């Protein structure tokens, strides 16, 4: 039983059939928000076909319930391309999100900054992205639906709401372009210099396939990075997954306030 429709029914039998409005994907070290949702938490392991979010620092549960008066589905962790070699690894969870009635997805991630004015502990709203990996979760999709327009993939209305929420909360929320690098090794300094020339402001190993899938499924999408480090070659600090996990909580508190405020103001 790994098709999205039966999984959706399974989830609704546990969490109720009332449609969710919004989905959230939480990145490395950002799982706390999932624990604060009042609702039903389902282990990914209990959802046949759901990827194991096997990266330490993730919270491998789907939580459905109320956050600031809005019914949400929160993915406490994601699966990454680099875990399996499958760029479509998040397709089933996002199909389920769509089946649960969501209209929008907000993805979050930990990222390295390429901009001197965006520092560890800051949050950055993605204005756009560069699929630097060249991979695509829709390769093999047989229908013409695969030709997904990616103009305004990072939804202007959602971004306006997030910027308004940031301003109201007194949180600086610069916008920038995120480049998807496959990982799991980090980038070399030369690769960082290369993507800087190409227009990237931040770099990370996730999110882009999810934005493509969200648009494919007709969901509006937006994404926020929490900056855990300066990208390779841009500072003396050692880049490591341990460092990412240690630094993520700095931005996570801001991210949480931002998302809560945006949800409170949703009409």
Residues 6+ apart with CB under 8 A from 116: 234
> Torsion over CA of 167, 169, 170 and 172, rounded to 10 degrees?
-60
From residue 219, how far is each of 7, 53, 103, 214 by CA, in Å? Answer: 19, 22, 5, 5
Please, are residues 125 and 162 in contact by the beta-carbon 8 Å criterion? yes
52 is annotated as an active-site residue: no
Annotated catalytic residue, options 4, 88, 166, 205: 205
State the catalytic residue, choosing from 241, 243, 253, 256: 241
Q: Which of 98, 244, 250, 255 binds ligand HPA (CB under 6 A)?
A: 244
> Nearer to ligand HPA by C-beta: 8 or 228?
228
**By C-alpha distance, which of 83, 110, 111 is closest to 195?**
111
Q: Segment 53-92, which members bind ligand HPA (CB under 6 A)? A: none
Q: Which residue is nearest to ligand HPA (CB)?
A: 112
Q: How many residues bind ligand HPA (CB under 6 A)?
A: 14
Q: How far apart are CA 58 and CA 264, in angstroms?
A: 25
- Tell which one of 111, 221, 250, 258 touches ligand HPA (CB under 6 A): 111
Q: Nearer Cβ to ligand HPA, position 221 or 247?
A: 247
CB of 257 to ligand HPA, least distance (A): 21
Residue 231 interacts with ligand HPA (CB under 6 A): yes or no: yes
Of 138-146, 170-178, 211-219, 224-232, which part binds ligand HPA (CB under 6 A)?
224-232
Active site residue 241: yes
CB of 254 to ligand HPA, least distance (A): 16
- Which one among 217, 228, 254, 258 touches ligand HPA, defined by CB under 6 A? 228
224 binds ligand HPA (CB under 6 A): no
In the complex, which residues of this chain contact ligand HPA (CB under 6 A)? 110-112, 181, 186-187, 203-205, 228-229, 231, 239, 244
Active site residues: 28, 58, 80, 82-83, 110, 205-206, 229, 241
């Amino acid at each position: 039983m790994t098709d999205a429709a039966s999984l959706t029914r399974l989830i609704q039998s546990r969490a109720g059939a009332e449609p969710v409005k919004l989905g959230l994907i939480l990145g490395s070290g950002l799982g706390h928000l999932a624990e604060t949702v009042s609702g039903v938490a389902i282990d990914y392991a209990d959802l046949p076909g759901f990827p194991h979010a096997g990266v330490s620092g993730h919270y491998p549960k789907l939580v459905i319930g109320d956050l600031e008066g809005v019914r949400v589905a929160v993915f406490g962790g994601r699966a990454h391309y680099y875990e399996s070699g499958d760029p479509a690894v998040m397709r089933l969870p996002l199909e389920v999100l769509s089946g649960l009635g969501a209209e929008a997805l907000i993805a979050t991630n930990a990222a390295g900054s390429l901009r001197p004015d965006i520092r560890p502990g800051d949050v950055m709203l993605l204005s756009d992205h560069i699929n630097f990996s060249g991979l695509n979760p829709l390769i093999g999709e047989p229908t013409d639906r695969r030709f997904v327009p990616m103009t305004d993939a990072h939804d202007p209305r959602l971004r306006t709401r997030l910027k308004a929420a940031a301003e109201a909360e007194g949180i600086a929320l610069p916008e920038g372009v995120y480049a998807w690098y496959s990982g799991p090794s980090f980038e070399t300094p030369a690769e960082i210099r290369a993507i800087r020339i190409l227009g990237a402001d931040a770099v990370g190993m996730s999110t882009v396939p999810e934005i493509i899938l969200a648009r494919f499924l007709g969901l509006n999408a937006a994404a926020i990075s929490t900056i855990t480090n300066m990208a390779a070659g841009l500072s003396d600090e050692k880049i490591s997954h341990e460092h990412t996990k240690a630094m993520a909580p700095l931005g996570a508190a801001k991210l949480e306030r931002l998302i809560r405020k945006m949800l409170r103001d949703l009409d």
